[in-house]
Structure 1
């Protein structure tokens, strides 16, 4: 990216951070979370501890990052290396993405970009120009992709509230910026679950490994 382009983006982002900081949701228990950011054309800066929303605003205005990240976990020492942070608990986060829903419409808005010659063509196994097989798939979601993802969010929300007794006001949904949504569950009874228990919770929601007969369903032989 050229210097003039970076300057334009940084000026635009700085103006947004200054005028619209109120639109940025600052997570609860801010001081217990690890923050990180990435500037235009530079690497990631991690292990940052922030006390409150005022410090976050100051960080944004001073560094003008292109991306800002926050851990879903809470730590005793969020500014230390990972093995020294002392994990306390973590929010539940679900990622619903249209690309994982096997939608028929995707073939209509997916193209292949050749890594060798940058040729863009309809989705294929080889480049039409140089015959290279090094292709990168690119897709822009259509209305059906977004609507179907929204429907999955609604189903997940129903399971969380009806089956798992999560309060509706603790469920927050955000557009992922790409092809779906991130569903955050804050302040629930599942905060202290480990990775194994979270995997089992996902299996329950996805109905993975379930035996239909245990739910009163009969198995018919073909």
Structure 2
């Protein structure tokens, strides 16, 4: 009989470990999927920009009298990247509207491509760096800024967190742990609930009526009993 509860406990622990492992695996797969998606989008946008540049250059070479294909590629590149040297300019007034429309769409495409490239370069720049001095990092809210230390302090005051815990909080360690949660290394930063020994039968506040109903009131000893016995 005693082996059955042990087997049930082992099965429950194994199931809990499987749930944790599957949760971490799902988080890791989600992060990898997002990373692969961003890389795929960047590659597709780069290919789209290249096709747009070459196709526009071919069209320009058809109606611009002083532009061959390679000169049109040069003109489109310096125009869409907002370099704009001005040494090559379109001269066909008949197709000026087509040129303006092509340039406007191309600038929007270039802006999106530059934004993705900037984000990628930022990730490469900060890759492998240690997280330190988080408390002095400034967070902007509209036109005003606040340090992370002050922000956490105000949040703790709002949530009635004891001041001692706020002072003992190491933001560098906290951010590192939070990054591990995002990466799926650990499940959560929530502290486990502490259960007092001997209180498992009484989930709510303990009251004398609970003990009386449970039949344990006969085992209670009152302080007045000892006092009355000593007086008598």
How high is the TM-score relative to the length of structure 2?
Answer: 0.20
Name the larger-Rg structure. Answer: 2
| TM-score normalised to structure 1 length | 0.20
Flag the structure with higher helix content: 2
Structure of greater relative contact order (alpha carbons < 8 Å, 6+ residues apart): 2
